[in-house]
Amino acid sequence: MSTLVRRAAVAVVLVSALAACSAGGSAEAEPPAEGESAEPSTITVEHAQGSTEVPADPERVAVFDMGALDTLDTLDVDVVGVPKASVPSFLEEYTGEEYTDVGTLFEPDYEALARLDPDLVVVGFRSAAAYPELSKSYPTVDVTFDSTDFLAGLEESAGTLGEIFGKEDEVAEALAGIDQRVEEIRPAGEAAGTGMVLQTSGGEVTMNGAASRFGLIFTVLGVAEAAPDVASDPHGEVVSFEVVRDANPDWLFVNDRDAAIGETGGQAAEQILDNELVAATTAWQQDQVVYLDGERWYIVMHGLSNVEAMIDEVGQALGA
């Protein structure tokens, strides 16, 4: 119902814009049009770092955030530039010839961007720091969100992109699908007992709590935190194996960071965790150790299809 209204509104704006153009480009704009409507129309988008005027339905889009890329892919939006080195395997087509490599997840390659001349740049999480510089040259939006309320954050980031490309309906639809899956899985999460999210990297173990990027396991899917007083830091905290043994989680969710970013040669998570202290936990004894898909949980983190896959992964592990 409301979507109909929204579509009608868009149509009205478009028609009036056309009317303005056909009126011979006179300085007199129609009363209801906001700003000058003579040039290609723009919309103002609110995002994590303020508001930006972006062209309505931009055509040349460069994306620095893999979650945003996933959302755009789901929404069938064409993209011209991505940081190719970090594209996850399930979005592999974006490493093809027809796409331009625009740097890394953290650092834009400004020359490549200049050649590409995008009319929209999307940054998020790792690339958010490049926003001030990028926004000088291109309409740029930042889809970063605070993961303490993960679903609200997803709605925000996907909503921003949906708004720009006029795909609010598709976004709403995908979000509704995710909500439904969450409702299916949550009872299993609540019944699963306690859980703990560990990340291994270079032989070191950090624990990640509800505020972390893995927090949706607790906040959305209802698994109880085995050690709720630790790990307020979004990047996790260094813990000894004693903490794991003591908290005695029923479920261990493990992200092998080295594997997630394609590092070889380090110790695998299985190797690091295979010790007598971890072996004393219920999770280990009952074989309830879930190795998360690092690309999805660590690299991409959000995105309409990715989040669904993430919660499905947990759901399957919990037997929901």
Partner 1 sequence: MTATAHPGTGRAVDGPAPGPATPAPAVAGGLVRPADGDPVRRSDGGRVRLADGGPAGSAHGSSTRPADGGQPQPRPSRLRLRLGLLAATAGVAVLAGVSLFVGATEVSVGDVLAGDLTAAQAQTLVSSRVPRTLSILLAGSAIAIVGLVMQLLVRNKFVEPSTAGTTESAGLGLLVVTLVAPALPLVGKMAVATVFALAGTMLFLAILRRIQLRSVVVVPLVGMMLAGVIGSVSTFLAYRNDMLHTLSTWMTGDFSGVIRGRYELLWIVGGCAVVAYLAANRFTVAGLGEELTTNLGLSYRAVMALGLSIVAVTSAVVVVVVGGLPFLGLVVPNIVSLAMGDYLRRSLPWVALLGAGFVLACDIVGRTVIHPAEVPIGVVVGVVGSAVFLYLLLRRPSGAR
Residue numbers at the binding site for partner 1 (CB under 8 A): 85, 201-205, 207, 227, 229-231, 237-243, 245-246, 257-258, 261-266, 272, 275-277, 280
199 DSSP 8-state letter = E
Instruction: Give the nearer residue to partner 1 in terms of CB position, either 47 or 257.
Output: 257
**Of 155 and 258, which has the nearer Cβ to partner 1?**
258
Phi-psi region of 186 (alpha: psi -120 to 50; beta: other; left: phi over 0): alpha
Nearer to partner 1, 50 or 202 (CB): 202
Query: What does the alpha-carbon distance between residue 143 and residue 47 come to, in Å, rounded to a whole number?
Result: 6
Q: Give min distance, CB of 48 to partner 1, in A.
A: 24
Alpha-carbon Rg for the chain, nearest whole angstrom, is 22
Alpha carbons 228 and 216: distance in angstroms, whole number: 14
Pick between residue 97 and residue 229 the one whose CB is nearest to partner 1. 229
Closest-CA residue to 209 (of 198, 201, 220, 200): 198
Give whichever of 160 and 208 is closer to partner 1, judged by the CB atom: 208
Taking the complex as a whole, the smallest distance from the CB of residue 78 to partner 1 amounts, in Å, to: 28
* In the complex, least distance from residue 106 CB atom to partner 1, rounded to whole angstroms: 10
Pick the closer one to partner 1 by CB: 21 or 227. 227
The helix, strand and coil proportions of the chain, stated in percent and rounded to the nearest 5, come to 45, 15, 35
Shortest CB 107 distance to partner 1, Å: 10
Separation of alpha carbons 284 and 23, rounded Å: 73
Sheet of 81-82, strand order: 100-101, 81-82, 61-63, 120-123, 140-142
CB of 235 to partner 1, least distance (A): 10
| Min dist. Cβ of residue 62 to partner 1 (A) | 21
Distance CA 174, CA 305 (A): 8
CB 254 within 8 A of CB 291: yes
- Please give the DSSP secondary-structure letter assigned to residue 221: T
Nearer to partner 1, 132 or 203 (CB): 203
In the complex, least distance from residue 126 CB atom to partner 1, rounded to whole angstroms: 12
